[in-house]
Every structure is written in structure tokens, then in C-alpha cells.
RNA sequence: CGGGGAGUGGCGCAGUUUGGUUUAGCGCGCAGCGUUCGGGACGCUGAGGUCGUGGGUUCGAAUCCCACCUCCCCGACCA
């Protein structure tokens, strides 16, 4: 491609709305432009990257024997109602009406559609296992789109769905996909970790997220450097460090009620009473399978809801709404406390070892100081329910855990029969018995791979693409467009490399050298060939590697083998 | 949805506090001409803006008032 003939709009300054590097560079390098909040146009350079990623995914998926399909973006309300997600998915599911006032959902994910296909087409165990996938535009009306393509409302996803006869086969498929995902992310040049994850609105029992390690990641993960245990903090297990808690020797002080007008949050209360969050106990009212229960947790800790759900053997746990809180505590939100509560109270182990705690007084604008278990209130159960903290140890090998931020680029789920059951996707087994298909689903965010790659690979001058997903592999730069000899050499180089099937960009724009160098760095093409005076006088070709700034000067005749060998790197 | 910030040529900004020398500026970019040409050159000339939208106040509004829209940031079931 000749740059003089195409659209390569680079910017010296990033628009002020872009806050993180990948977003800034994607705009500056001319990969994309914003159309509306969370909705972007891919320009030629950006779309090439997407297609590169797409092809890597496609190749790896095909290797597993999965088949590519293309499901519709629009799907009718009735189908979503069968699975119950027309309700459950909430406003994140975009909906439109056709001219007859029939409602459709714009696909945020396609479990319903694929299960509908399976129930129509798959009848026998002989047709299983089956894995289908697609690469397609998805819509999610994100509560807050941000960071460019990192959290967009219209984005691109590879979603795959597996159908098996039994759990054992699902396990095989799951492992195969897990491995395939590693292959894909490896080929994309990403540094990532696979972590145990929460299943969220997709549902199912087991899931893993593939997290690209980056400071700007929206997720927090925790992992063990020794044994490899890794999980999203929202579900991480841990072995409690023995040093947390333990104040049994402290004397109990007399209970006091203090006025705390309008002080609701931990920060407000601790700021007002001049104490630390760890002196405070939060009283959270949960609805556990519909029944209100009070959870006591230290002010600086959080509840691991998954753990809680498991320990209570509950189907559904939800924080109570304001009305319920007012009914249960007879105070407004922000002033709940355990003293005088009539409902069941569950305390975290760390709370159990606290003395002279501060809590809400179950009375508006009042808190209690020096409350103590047994003396002032009773606890029904003591459980380990707080979420992981930096002091905790690995649940498997008791090594200190490492915290990191991650960008979720892939997610694999064991769905089981969640969708096949409600949508009645069944098959007949060897004995002629009807059974629901056992499903798995596997997603990859293409745009996120692109953004995450930039987060991991850039410098102050711009993007540094890995060869595998670079929009072009080589850029030939003509230093002085007025010099006919330079143009001649550049054209020759360009044509010969193009003939070799190397993806090449020729910067033949009528710009000064400096501007071209800056653009080349910004766009991050891995290999840059500079045609200037050296090429004329010395009969040498200069190749610069974007990644490490190394310059190779080689004879013209060695150019193609050299480029080939550099591409191997 | 709650809180905060912002909308002025393609991008980045000034001007708004105190309404009137502003025919609304500046840098970058863009067009033309000339000089230049290995890390974002320089000179001259020029194009491009209903100052987010709609109302209002006023002799007069980018500037004051009201409403709405859009965008960004923080938070969003942790009391």
C-alpha cells in the first residue's frame, strides 16, 4: 500500500477524552475514530489489526475441529424469554422494535440463538460432540463505556459453543479450548494469566478468565508465584494469614452512642470519629434466597459473595434494597449495626476477633462505639467470608499472594445444562434416552486484544506491534521525495517485497523526513526500511527494528533473506 | 442513575469572572507560492467557526438566566 494513496490520518495530539495509552494511541495512529460514546469506526490500519487477530483466532479454532457459523445479530424477544434473560439481562441488552412493534434484542452474546439451532438440528448422540463458533459484532449497552475499545457498546467477539453428551466430554472440550486460548494469546504476543473466575450473567459452574496483565486493567486478580494458583479477586480463595485479627487480650470498654449526622460511608464515619476503617464493622443486610440476613465485615474488608453463597448453600444472595434495610434495622441506609438486630447475624472470622468496634446504631445519624460480641449482641455463625487481602496466603501452598490488574480478553465457561434445559435442547443417547446437551461457551474480545497489546507494547513514540498482529510488517520510508534516485530504489524494494507476499507500506507521502519517522514510530510497524542518501551512496539498505531500535545495514541483494529472518524473530 | 468536569474551525487551547476595540483569537493541521529536505522546517498568502441546541434578559450575549443535548472522569447493591 502506498501511503500517498490511502487514509492514514495521524494526530500530533490525542483528543482530551482519551485517558489511557491504548486509547490515545489508537486515535493518534489513525486506527479508529469515535462516532458516539462507546461506538467507534475502524480506519484501514485498525481494521487490518482486527483482521489479523481474527485470522489467528480462526486458524486456532479450526485446528480444534470447531466450525465457523454466522448467527444473526437480531434475535426475537420470545427466544430470550424462554431463557429468562429478556428480564435478567436488564438494560444492557439493547432492544429494538420492528415496524410491527415486535421486539428484538441486539445480541450481546448468543447462548439462546445457538441453543435454538442445536435443539432443531441435533437429535442424536451420534452428532456429538459439536463445537460451533462465530466472529461477529456484539452489542452491550454498557452502564459506562470507557477507555475507547476497552469497554465499548459495539465491539467484536469470537464466541464459541460446545455441545457434549456428558460432563466428561465437556471437560475434554473445556481443556481443549483452554489450551487453544493459550495458543491464541501466545500468538498475539500477549503476557497474560488464566484465572479462576466468576460466571456472571452467562451462568454455569466453572469458568476461567484470560487476563492480560496491565496497570490500566479494570479487573483485579490475585496469583501465586510458586504454585500457579490464580483467580479473580471476586472469587479468590485464600489461606488466612495468622497475623490478621486477634485482639482477645484487649479490655472491653463501655458502650457509647455518638451522633454522626449524615455520616454513612466508612470514609465519612472514620473521618468524623478520627479512627481507622479496621476499627469499624460494616453491617450489610443481604437477602439470602429471599430472607434478610446481616453480614458483619471489617470496615476495610469486602465480602466475597461467592464464598458466602457456597458456605450458606444458598441459591441466590443479593444485597437488600433500601426498603428492606429500613424495615430490618429501623434506620436509614448507612446506620445499620448488629446491636438489637432481630435477624440472623453472620460475622466474618476477622470480626469475631475484634474488640470495641464501631458500628451503626440502627438509628439515623447515630453510631455506637465500643460494641463487643456476646456482651452487646450475639452472632449466629462465624464464617470466613471476606474477600482476599494482600496479607493473605495462597490457598494451595500458603505462599504470599501477588496482586495485579488485568484486562479480560477471553473467558471460558462450563455452562452445563443451564441453557439446554430451559430451551429443551436434548438428544437421544445410546439407550434411546432423552438427555439435555452439556454445553460450554468460550469468548474472546478482539478489540480488547488490540487495546491490550498496545497497553503492553508501546513507548513514548507510539505503538510497538508484535509482527503477528501488526497491520503491516514492513514500512519503506523515502527520506527525500524530491530525490528521484531514492524514489527509484524505494519502488524497487517495495515491489520486490510485495512480490514476496510481505505486507508492506510505502511512505511516499510528500512530507519531510522527520514527520515520516514520527508517523512510522507512532503506527508501530515492526520493521522500517529507510531509503535515503545511504541507499544511494553506500548501496546499502537500512532496516530498523521498532521494538529495540536496532539498525541493520545490509547489501541490497541480501534484503529479502534478511527481512525473512527478521520476521522469524 | 448519583457526584464532578467540559462543549469555541479537523486536533489542542485562550477569551466567559466584570456583556460592548472581537469583523471571535492562538498553536498544530489544511490549500497555494517560494526556500528547505535523515527525527514533527521557515516565510508569505489563504480557506475554514450559526462559540453544543433551544428559549430568555439586554440597545447589545461566546460572556448573564432557564431548559435540554452531547462528551469525559469518579462511583454505582460494601452501608
Each residue's pLDDT tens digit, A504-518:
999 999 999 999 999
- C-alpha span between A69 and A71 (Å, rounded): 6
A153 CB contact with strand B at below 7 Å: no
Residue range A456-485: mean pLDDT, rounded = 96
Each residue's pLDDT tens digit, A324-350:
788 888 877 778 889 988 889 999 988
- Candidates A443, A466, A435, A431; CA nearest to A545 is A466
Residue range A225-243: mean pLDDT, rounded = 85
Residue A205 has pLDDT above 90, yes or no: no
Distances in whole angstroms, Cα of residue A318 to Cα of each of A108, A144, A161, A312, A315:
24, 22, 29, 13, 10
DSSP output for A224-236: -TTT--EEETTT-
Nucleotide nearest to A150 (CA to C1'): B72
Two domains, one topology: A16-237+403-454 and A256-383 = no
Question: CA A389 from chain center: how many Å?
Answer: 21
CATH placement of domain A472-568:
3.40.50.800
ipTM: 0.92
Nucleotide nearest to A285 (CA to C1'): B79
Nucleotide nearest to A532 (CA to C1'): B38
Q: Which residue is nearest to nucleotide B79 (CA to C1')?
A: A334
Which sequence spans correspond to the domains of chain A?
Answer: 16-237+403-454, 256-383, 472-568
Q: How far is the CA of A145 from the C1' of B67 (A)?
A: 27
Query: A379: which residues sit within 8 A by CB, 6+ positions away?
Result: A296, A338, A345, A346, A347, A352, A373
Look at residue A365 in the predicted model and tell me its pLDDT: 83
Q: How far is the CA of A268 from the C1' of B18 (A)?
A: 39
- Candidates A333, A332, A313, A325; CA nearest to A287 is A325
Residue A372 has pLDDT above 80, yes or no: yes
DSSP output for A471-514: S-SEEEEES-TT-HHHHHHHHHHHHHHHHTT--EEEE--S--HH
Q: How far is the CA of A291 from the C1' of B50 (A)?
A: 60
Residues lying close to strand B (Cβ under 7 A), chosen from 325-344 of chain A, are 325, 333-336
Residue A317 has pLDDT above 80, yes or no: no
Residues lying close to strand B (Cβ under 7 A), chosen from 393-422 of chain A, are none
Q: Which cell is A254 given?
A: 463501655
Query: A353: which residues sit within 8 A by CB, 6+ positions away?
Result: A245, A246, A247, A248
Residue range A369-385: mean pLDDT, rounded = 91
Residues lying close to strand B (Cβ under 7 A), chosen from 462-481 of chain A, are 479-481
- Residue A505: asked if its preceding bond is cis (omega within 30°), the reply is no
Q: Which cell is A121 given?
A: 438440528
Please give the class, per CATH, of domain A16-237+403-454: alpha beta
Each residue's pLDDT tens digit, A98-149:
999 999 999 999 999 999 999 999 999 999 999 999 999 999 999 889 899 9
Q: How far is the CA of A486 from the C1' of B13 (A)?
A: 40
| A170 touches A204 (CB < 8 A) | no
DSSP lists the bridge partners of residue A358 as A280, A369
A536 CB contact with strand B at below 7 Å: no
- C-alpha span between A23 and A46 (Å, rounded): 12
Q: Are strands A434-436 and A426-428 parallel, antiparallel or unpaired?
A: antiparallel
- Candidates A383, A162, A200, A391; CA nearest to A293 is A383
Nucleotide nearest to A302 (CA to C1'): B78
- C-alpha span between A422 and A111 (Å, rounded): 12
Residues lying close to strand B (Cβ under 7 A), chosen from 254-313 of chain A, are 264-266, 269, 282-286, 297, 299, 301-303, 305
> How many Cα neighbours within 13 Å face the side chain of A115?
26
Each residue's pLDDT tens digit, A385-434:
888 888 889 999 999 999 999 999 999 999 999 999 999 999 999 999 99
A14 CB contact with strand B at below 7 Å: yes
- Other CB atoms within 10 Å distance of the CB of residue A274: 6
Architecture of domain A256-383: Alpha-Beta Complex (3.90)
| A357 touches A351 (CB < 8 A) | yes
Q: How far is the CA of A532 from the C1' of B30 (A)?
A: 27
Name the percent of chain A in helix, strand, coil, to the closest 5: 30, 30, 40
Amino acid at each position: 500500500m502506498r501511503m500517498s494513496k490511502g487514509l492514514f490520518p495521524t494526530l500530533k495530539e490525542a483528543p482530551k477524552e482519551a485517558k489511557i495509552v491504548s486509547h490515545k494511541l489508537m486515535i493518534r495512529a489513525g486506527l479508529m475514530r469515535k462516532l458516539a460514546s462507546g461506538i467507534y469506526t475502524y480506519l484501514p490500519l485498525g481494521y487490518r489489526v482486527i483482521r489479523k487477530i481474527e485470522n489467528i483466532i480462526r486458524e486456532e479454532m479450526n485446528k480444534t475441529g470447531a466450525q465457523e457459523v454466522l448467527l444473526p445479530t437480531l434475535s426475537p424477544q420470545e427466544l430470550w424469554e424462554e431463557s429468562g434473560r429478556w428480564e435478567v439481562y436488564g438494560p444492557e441488552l439493547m432492544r429494538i422494535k420492528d415496524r410491527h412493534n415486535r421486539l428484538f434484542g441486539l445480541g450481546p452474546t448468543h447462548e439462546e440463538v445457538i441453543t435454538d439451532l442445536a435443539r432443531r438440528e441435533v437429535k442424536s448422540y451420534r452428532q456429538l460432540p459439536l463445537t460451533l463458533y462465530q466472529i461477529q459484532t456484539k452489542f452491550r449497552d454498557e452502564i459506562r463505556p470507557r477507555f475507547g475499545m476497552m469497554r465499548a457498546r459495539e465491539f467484536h467477539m469470537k464466541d464459541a459453543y460446545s455441545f457434549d453428551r456428558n460432563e466428561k466430554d465437556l471437560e475434554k472440550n473445556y481443556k481443549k479450548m483452554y489450551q487453544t486460548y493459550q495458543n491464541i494469546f501466545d500468538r498475539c504476543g500477549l503476557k497474560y494469566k488464566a484465572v479462576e473466575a466468576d460466571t456472571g450473567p452467562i451462568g454455569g459452574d466453572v469458568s476461567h478468565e484470560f487476563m492480560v496483565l496491565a496497570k490500566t486493567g479494570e479487573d483485579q486478580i490475585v496469583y501465586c508465584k510458586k504454585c500457579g494458583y490464580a483467580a479473580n479477586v471476586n472469587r479468590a480463595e485464600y489461606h488466612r494469614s495468622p497475623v490478621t485479627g486477634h485482639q482477645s487480650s484487649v479490655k472491653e470498654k463501655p458502650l457509647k452512642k455518638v451522633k454522626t449526622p449524615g455520616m454513612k460511608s466508612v470514609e465519612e464515619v472514620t473521618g468524623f470519629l478520627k479512627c481507622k476503617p479496621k476499627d469499624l464493622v460494616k453491617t450489610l443486610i443481604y437477602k439470602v434466597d429471599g430472607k434478610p440476613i446481616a453480614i458483619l465485615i471489617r470496615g476495610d474488608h469486602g465480602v466475597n459473595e461467592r464464598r458466602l453463597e457456597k458456605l450458606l448453600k444458598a441459591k441466590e444472595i443479593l444485597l437488600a434494597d433500601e426498603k428492606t434495610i429500613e424495615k430490618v434495622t429501623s434506620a436509614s441506609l448507612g446506620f445499620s449495626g448488629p446491636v438489637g438486630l432481630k435477624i440472623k447475624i453472620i460475622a466474618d472470622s476477622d470480626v469475631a476477633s475484634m474488640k470495641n468496634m464501631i458500628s451503626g446504631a440502627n438509628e439515623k445519624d447515630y453510631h455506637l462505639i465500643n460494641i463487643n460480641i456476646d456482651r452487646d449482641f450475639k452472632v449466629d455463625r462465624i464464617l470466613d467470608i471476606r474477600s482476599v487481602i494482600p496479607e493473605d496466603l495462597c490457598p494451595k501452598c500458603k505462599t504470599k499472594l501477588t496482586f495485579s490488574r488485568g484486562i479480560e480478553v477471553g473467558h471460558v465457561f462450563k455452562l452445563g445444562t443451564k441453557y439446554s434445559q430451559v430451551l429443551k435442547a436434548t438428544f437421544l443417547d445410546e439407550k434411546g434416552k432423552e438427555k439435555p446437551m452439556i454445553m460450554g461457551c468460550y469468548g474472546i474480545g478482539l478489540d480488547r486484544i488490540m487495546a491490550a497489546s498496545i497497553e503492553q507494547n508501546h513507548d513514548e513514540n507510539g505503538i510497538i506491534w508484535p509482527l503477528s498482529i501488526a497491520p503491516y510488517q514492513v514500512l519503506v520510508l523515502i527520506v527525500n521525495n524530491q530525490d528521484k534516485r531514492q524514489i527509484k530504489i524505494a519502488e524497487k524494494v517495495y515491489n520486490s517485497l510485495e512480490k514476496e507476499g510481505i505486507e508492506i507500506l510505502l511512505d511516499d507521502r510528500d512530507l519531510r523526513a522527520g514527520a515520516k519517522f514520527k508517523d512510522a514510530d507512532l503506527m508501530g510497524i515492526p520493521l522500517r526500511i529507510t531509503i535515503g542518501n545511504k541507499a544511494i551512496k553506500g548501496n546499502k539498505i537500512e532496516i530498523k527494528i521498532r521494538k529495540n531500535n536496532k539498525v541493520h545495514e545490509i547489501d541490497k541483494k541480501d534484503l529479502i533473506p534478511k527481512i525473512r529472518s527478521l520476521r522469524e524473530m
